Structure 1
Amino acid sequence: MTTPNSLGQEPGSAAEPVVRLTAGAVRGRLEDGLAVFRGIPFAQPPVGDARFQAPRPAPGWDGVRDALAFGPPPPQESGIQGRRGAPTGPTGDDWLTVNVWTPEPDPATRRPVMVWIYGGAYKLGHAGSPGYDARHIARDGDIVVVTFNYRVGIEGFARIDGAPANRGLLDQVAALEWVRDNITAFGGDPEQVTVFGESAGAGSVASLLVMPRASGLFRRAIAQSVPGTFFSDPLARDIAASIAAEAGLRPTAADLATVDPRQLTDAGEALVPKMHQYEDRWGALVHTATPFSPVVDGEVLPVTPWEGLAAGAARDVELVVGHNRDEYRLFHVLSGRAGTLGEADASAALRRFGPGADPEAAYRDAFPDRSAEELYELVQTDWLFSMPSLHLAEAQSAAGGRVHVYELAWNAPGLGGMLGACHGLDIPLLFGTFTADLGNLLFANVEPSPEALALSSRFRSSWTQFARTGDPGWPAYDTEHRSTQLLDTDPVVTAYPEETTRRLWEGVTFGALPLTA
């Protein structure tokens, strides 16, 4: 019997590193100086009697299993603004898989580990997306990087009878448990794990911070553009009943399991254009184009992240939180309505999303020089992403935890620069994937400039330095100085740059969205 050498390679197979895990051995591939392993199962396929249930441990295997291709994407809808088209890749039921990029699969090296959680409105996304190719992060930072799939949409987040809530979050916990039990074999340190994610991935990170089942599974966290939408249990159940009705079914695991997972996504997709009909019951969330969010069910997710952090739930977890300056610009431009909105549109948006008793007057007084279209966009940026992100940081700071805040203010060059520092821009900058997925739009037909490459490198160095030391390279946030890293062509540390908005939202509580009727 042969044994792997110090690189985890079998003798005579220099291009095929092999590592031994708790479930069996896997064979990867050397790529650009890294050992890369793809499609390793961390849980059983969630089908059959495992459908709509908490993830179950993956069975072991004999021999050496090839880990050369990404696992199939979880069932999902065809797209949302900015992320259109169903994902391509292998098909099958083995959705719950992990991927690893490591500089050296040697158990003696013990490098820091970064675990990526993708976004996609809790209804889209998969770790095999080219935009999440982690080679630059792993190589530039000398870091082990893990990505994984989790259930989205109906399979992962619909609140139905006969199934635990937040199955997508439970998948994430199972992936982190796999990291704890196996990452040493890849040269990673299970005591130095940082979770990081964007948009719904950042909402997932925020959830994990206050979930008892995730306690102790990571030491640090980075939340990029945290959405403020978390559902109360009554609201989530009402939404699930409407989704099931689209398929002519009851909102139960037994009923929904009679429909193939890839066909059941049609029910969620069919509901989206009808969501405005439910505004009297579901409130402002009907304008978010997704009927899915984490559910504050009292068990899997006991409280909202803001409440949990303020109470000290993650006081010992070092945290980076931030947002992009023009978050909602992406959705506004892609809606086709840019340049067409008037005062009535601005008034409706301000009343719907703004804080306080008279949010329209407050915003117009605070921003007297902004056009109607700018106000329409600004209040939705604030409600959906920027203020939830800032308030998460302030909750952590108030509880005595350490948190660093940033704002991305660099303008995307795509579409003639009209997208500004929009939602999702941090992904191609962080991963260096300028020509993949969202990068195709944000950098469309534009070769990355020296400024873009320098900012991209700055992102990776800050993120990996934080994973290694707990310090991203700028001062921690507190309510006296409000130190914020402004990420732009010339990055600087400043007081929080959106002070006018911060004051408008001071004292606002981000609670679980209620069922209003």
Structure 2
Amino acid sequence: MTTAEPRGPMADSAPPVVRTRAGAVRGCREGGLTVFRGIPFAAPPVGEARFQAPRPAPAWDGIRDAYAFGPPPPQEAAFLGRGDAQDASPGDDWLTVNVWTPDPDPAAHRPVMVWIYGGAYKLGHAGSPGYDARHIAHDGDVVVVSLNYRVGIEGFAHLDGAPANRGLLDQVAALEWVRDNITAFGGDPGQVTVFGESAGAGSVAALLAMPSASGLFRRAIAQSVPGTYFSDALARDIATAIAAEAGLRPTVADLSTVGPRALPAAGEALGAKMLQYVGRWGQAAPTMTPFSPVVDGEVLPVTPWQALTAGAGRDVELVVGHNRDEFRLFLAMGGQLGNITEEQARWALRLFAPGEAGEDGYRAAFPDASPDELFERVQTDWLFAMPSHHLAEAQATGGGRAHLYELTWPAPGGGGALGACHALDIPLLFGTFAADVGLMLFPGGEVPPEAEALSARFRASWTAFARTGDPGWPAYGTQERLVQVLDAEPQVRAYPEEASRRMWEEYEFAPMPLLA
């Protein structure tokens, strides 16, 4: 049983100590909160444990200082301001959690929110400054937990001799840690909400479909769900190509001969030339990431859309949504904003547009769109908008409750050309405008008043949902399709992307196949 240290006359000034099942940890007080960093939730996945399911963290004697974030998992060179991942401690204790709590009192029973970072399943770590959860915990009076999970080859490559989806299994192990220990930090293990963005949202969606995650959380928030889930055949073929970059076979025995910090170079080398594999890997190739959850039939039996349609999320309340101009961020990062040709637009429409109408359907639906707009629109829809919308539809169809949103407020970065792009919701939710992607979206640290107001609204809605299951707007239904539109003047209205919704209405986000 986990218990907090007894409170005494010097408790307010003494460093707080909490006892977990593995041992005692000492945190620190920061801005009215108590913060614990770098607590192991599983054993270091190295040696015999490498490429295997997470194993229990070894117990320790005495009191462990929990002042610093654990080292990030091995990964490729960073982007979106996440360079600090490469400069952090190179230790192997990657599987750690961090806790922000208003008060580590076991009697508090506050709602718990567990953050899962994004990064294309190949990047990211919980210690990134943009994920500092102090504002969420303080403003919402909730306990916030963030976690590291294995990414890239260590976490998602489909290898002989290893379970699939090891990164997802890490997340399950972290949620089990929350179940077993969070009471001592002032949290309620029966009131857990998982929330994540991009690959983090894809992870949240996968957790909804995973038998091993059942019962570990009551609510879920998925921000910009990517529609990329690999079939077993595709994942194995991509793993073969990754291993070949290192002159190896896709086996645990072969890849274990390369150190964890050196191995990401193989994935990075393949990612740089994935477009060469369009004929073999289809729509997966242009994503430039050779990693996604694998529908392997065991860890992840079916896609999230299939699972929710069948009722898997009936007992979990869901908030899901996307940003209006998701793909514009990637155009900006690649220097392509305003530079898309008609030939490039035609290529994107033919590869990604759904159904028999395909390219003609998009041109008819958006007759005045420029090549730039068509290129961006179809990829926004395919990669994030329609997967997110379909997840709400699947939840409603399966008898569960979903609340859908769309962020339409444009970021000031890029002279306003970035629009409501991918990842804009991160600085708005966390209030971290001067960190990571916030530096790009809010240049010079200038945060307009409407952004501050929208940021407060994000936190109020997310924490209210974690507490009550109601984010402050009506549940989504397949008839009225009411959506919370988040802008300078938020409003509830019918889903704004009706033209896209109709084109994608019959589309199935199935496991991505191996084409040849």
* TM-score interval, normalised by the smaller of the two chains: over 0.9
What is the Cα deviation at residue 90 of structure 1? 1.9
CA distance in 2, matches of 1:365, 1:502: 14
Residue in 1 aligned with 2:407?
Answer: 408
Q: Supply the distance in 2 between the matched residues of 1:437 and 1:227 (Cα, whole angstroms).
A: 21
Q: Does 1:177 align with 2:176?
A: yes
Structure 2 residue identity aligned to 1:169: L
How much has 1:79 moved relative to structure 2? Answer: 2.8
Tell me the distance in 1 between the aligned counterparts of 2:54 and 2:33: 30
Matched ranges for 1:271-350 at <5 A = 271-350=270-349
Letter of the structure 2 residue corresponding to residue 120 of structure 1 = G
1:418 and 2:410 matched: no
Deviation at 1:285, TM superposition (A): 1.1
- Counterpart CA distance in 1 for 2:187 and 2:83 is 35
Contact 2:5–2:19 at 8 Å: present in 1 too? no
Q: Which amino acid aligns with 2:311?
A: G
Corresponding letter in the other structure for 2:5: P
Rounded Cα–Cα distance in structure 1 between residues aligned with 2:145 and 2:246: 36
- Find out whether 1:353 has 2:316 as its counterpart: no
The residue aligned with 1:380 is: 379
Change (3 A) 1:33 1:446: closer
Is the CA contact (8 Å cut-off) linking 1:310 and 1:398 kept in structure 2?
yes
Q: What is the Cα-based RMSD across aligned positions, in Å?
A: 1.4
Distance 1:63 1:86, change over 3 A: closer
8 Å CA contact retained: 2:135, 2:431: yes
Superposed, which structure 2 residues align to 1:202-213 within 5 Å? 202-213=201-212
Matched, 1:478 2:477: yes
More displaced 10-residue stretch of structure 1: 298-307 or 279-288: 279-288
* CA offset digits 1:65-110 (Å, max 9, x no partner): 1000000000000035675675332220000000000000000010
Q: Percent identity?
A: 72
1:106-137: per-residue Cα shift (whole Å, max 9, x none)? Answer: 00010000000000000000000000000000
2:147 alignment partner in structure 1 = 148
Report the Cα distance in structure 2 between the residues aligned to 1:374 and 1:504, rounded to whole angstroms: 17
Is the CA contact 2:81–2:435 (under 8 Å) kept in the aligned structure 1?
Answer: no
**Is 1:189 aligned to 2:188, yes or no?**
yes
Conserved 8 A contact 2:80-2:437: no
Inter-partner Cα distance in structure 1 for 2:339 and 2:175: 46
Gaps of 5+ in 2: none
Residue-by-residue CA offset, 1:196-254 (whole Å, 9 max, x unaligned): 00000000000000100000000000000000000000000000000000001110011
The normalised TM-score by structure 2 is 0.98
3-state SS in 1 of match to 2:250: coil
- Give the aligned partner of residue 44 of structure 2: 45
Q: 2:162 corresponds to which letter in structure 1?
A: A
Inter-partner Cα distance in structure 1 for 2:245 and 2:10:
57
In the alignment, residue 464 of structure 1 is paired with which amino acid? T
1:4 maps to 5
- CA distance, structure 2, for counterparts of residue 280 and residue 422 of structure 1: 29
Q: Could you tell me which residue of structure 1 aligns to residue 491 of structure 2?
A: 492
Q: Tell me, what secondary structure is at the counterpart of 1:202?
A: helix
Comparing 338-347 and 237-246, the one that deviates more: 338-347
SS in 2 for 1:116: strand
- Write the letter of the residue equivalent to 2:6: N
Aligned residue identity for 1:181: D
CA distance, structure 2, for counterparts of residue 250 and residue 360 of structure 1? 39
**Deviation of the 1:13 alpha carbon:** 7.2
* SS of equivalent residue, structure 1 residue 115: strand
The separation in 1 between residues aligned to 2:50 and 2:259, in whole angstroms, is: 11
Secondary structure in 1 aligned to 2:76?
coil
Aligned equivalents of 1:411, 1:188: Cα separation in 2 = 35
Contact 2:243 2:266 in 1 (8 A): yes
1:55 aligns with 2:54: yes
My pick for the range that moved more, 15-24 or 154-163, is 15-24
State the alpha-carbon separation in 2 of the partners of residues 279 and 80 from structure 1: 24
SS where residue 100 of structure 1 aligns?
strand
TM-score by length of 1: 0.98
- Deviations along 1:292-337, one digit per CA (max 9) or x if unpaired, are 0000000000000000100011111000000000000000111112
Alignment match, 1:256: 255
Q: Which residue of 2 aligns with 1:217?
A: 216
Residue 414 of structure 1 contacts residue 445 of structure 1 at CA under 8 Å; is this kept in 2? no
Distance in 1 between residues matched to 2:136 and 2:168, nearest whole Å: 24
User: Which amino acid letter does the alignment assign opposite residue 28 of structure 2?
Assistant: R
Q: Which amino acid aligns with 1:5?
A: P
Contact conserved, 2:85 with 2:124, CA < 8 A, in 1?
no
Distance in 2 of aligned mates of 1:372 and 1:44: 50
Tell me, in whole angstroms, the C-alpha distance in 1 between the residues paired with 2:11 and 2:175: 33
Counterpart in 2 of 1:437?
A: 436
Q: How many residues align?
A: 514
Q: Give the aligned partner of residue 163 of structure 1.
A: 162
Deviations 1:146-184 (A, max 9, x none): 001000000000000000000000000000000000000
Distance 1:99 1:81 in 2: 22
Per the TM alignment, residue 279 of structure 1 is displaced from its structure 2 partner at its CA by 1.1
CA spacing shift, 1:86–1:270, aligned 2, 3 Å: farther
Show the counterpart of 2:108.
109
Could you tell me how far 1:63 is from its partner in structure 2? 0.8
Assess if the C-alpha contact under 8 Å between 1:99 and 1:146 holds in 2.
yes
Kindly state the Cα deviation for residue 5 of structure 1 after the two structures are TM-superposed.
3.1
* 1:245 alignment partner, SS class: helix
Rounded to whole Å, the distance in 1 between the matches of 2:114 and 2:445 is 30
Give the letter for the 1:157 counterpart.
F
| Mapped partners of 1:497, 1:248: distance in 2 | 49
Report the alpha carbon displacement of residue 382 of structure 1 after superposing the two structures with TM: 0.2
Checking the alignment, whether the CA contact within 8 Å between 2:81 and 2:436 is kept in structure 1 is: no
The structural deviation recorded for 1:140 is 0.1
Structure 1: give runs of 5+ residues left out of the alignment.
none
Match for 1:302: what amino acid?
A: P
Per-residue displacement from partner, 1:432-468 (whole Å, max 9, x unpaired)? 0000000010101141111110000000000000000
- SS in structure 1 at match of 2:272: helix
- Please give the residue correspondences for 1:440-455 in structure 2 after superposition, counting only pairs within 5 Å: 440-455=439-454
